[in-house]
């Protein structure tokens, strides 16, 4: 394992968060608008299917981010396992110390320790939500089991877990040098796109 392994994983996790951010914007746009007047009849069924598909995919993405177990699962758990390796950590500190000192005015070793503390806190805070999402995934999404989820997740579970992952991945990518911009711009762009999408639907076809 090397720093490159961690950086490659960071890039993959960053793409997962960008995807989840796009889905989140789409789901939130539906929740914030009154579409009943335009989705009557058969159109309402299609809108419902589209919304459910987005929620299901966002659940799967959240579960992938917090996956555990086998070493080939590309998740936040694996990222912090790599970060704890003395060889990877030493290489990261050597590689990124000057850049982070110049850009952030902080020592990279201190940033790593702070990030590990934040990960521990957010992981514990969202443990029950992750558990409910994984239960739904295992019983109804990834498989079709004859037992229902032990406890069904709610929207807040999904959004809280993605928000925690977004914060961690943004910080991790900054430290690893794989992405320096964070997700603020992406969130604004996808919110605008989602709002425009639903406005077009409400307006109906242009003749």
Summarised one tens digit per residue, pLDDT across range 17-66 is 999 999 999 888 876 665 555 555 566 677 778 888 999 999 999 999 99
Q: Which distant-in-sequence residues (6+ apart) come within 8 Å of 159 by Cβ?
A: 24
Taking the C-alpha atoms of residue 162 and residue 24, their distance in angstroms, rounded to an integer, is 9
- This model's pTM is above 0.85: yes
pLDDT band (50, 70, 90) for residue 195:
confident
109-158 pLDDT tens trace: 999 999 999 999 999 999 999 999 999 898 888 887 777 777 788 889 99
Work out the end-to-end distance of the chain between its first and last CA atoms, rounded to an integer number of angstroms.
Answer: 59
| Phi, psi of 187, rounded to the nearest 5 degrees | -65, -45
The domain locations on the chain are: 3-121+155-203
Q: What is the pLDDT of residue 103?
A: 74
Q: What is the pLDDT of residue 133?
A: 94
Q: What is the pLDDT of residue 99?
A: 83
Provide the mean pLDDT of the chain: 86
72-121 pLDDT tens trace: 899 999 999 999 999 999 999 988 888 888 777 778 899 999 999 999 99
Q: What is the pLDDT of residue 69?
A: 79
Q: What is the pLDDT of residue 207?
A: 43
């Amino acid at each position: 394992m090397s720093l490159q392994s961690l950086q490659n994983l960071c890039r993959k996790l960053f793409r997962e968060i960008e995807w989840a951010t796009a889905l989140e914007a789409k789901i939130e746009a539906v929740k914030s608008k009154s579409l009943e007047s335009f989705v009557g009849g058969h159109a309402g069924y299609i809108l419902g299917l589209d919304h459910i598909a987005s929620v299901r995919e966002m659940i799967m993405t959240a579960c992938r981010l917090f996956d555990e177990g086998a070493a080939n699962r590309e998740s936040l758990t694996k990222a912090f396992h790599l970060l704890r390796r003395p060889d990877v950590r030493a290489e990261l500190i050597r590689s990124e110390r000057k850049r982070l000192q110049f850009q952030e005015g902080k020592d990279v070793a201190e940033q790593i320790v702070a990030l590990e503390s934040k990960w521990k806190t957010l992981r514990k805070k969202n443990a029950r939500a992750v558990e409910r999402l994984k239960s739904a995934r295992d019983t109804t999404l990834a498989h079709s089991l004859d037992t229902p989820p032990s406890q069904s997740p709610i929207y807040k579970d999904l959004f809280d877990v993605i928000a925690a992952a977004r914060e961690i991945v943004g910080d991790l990518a900054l430290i690893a040098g794989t992405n320096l911009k964070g997700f603020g711009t992406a969130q604004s762009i996808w919110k605008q796109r989602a709002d425009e999408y639903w406005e077009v639907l409400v307006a109906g076809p242009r003749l």
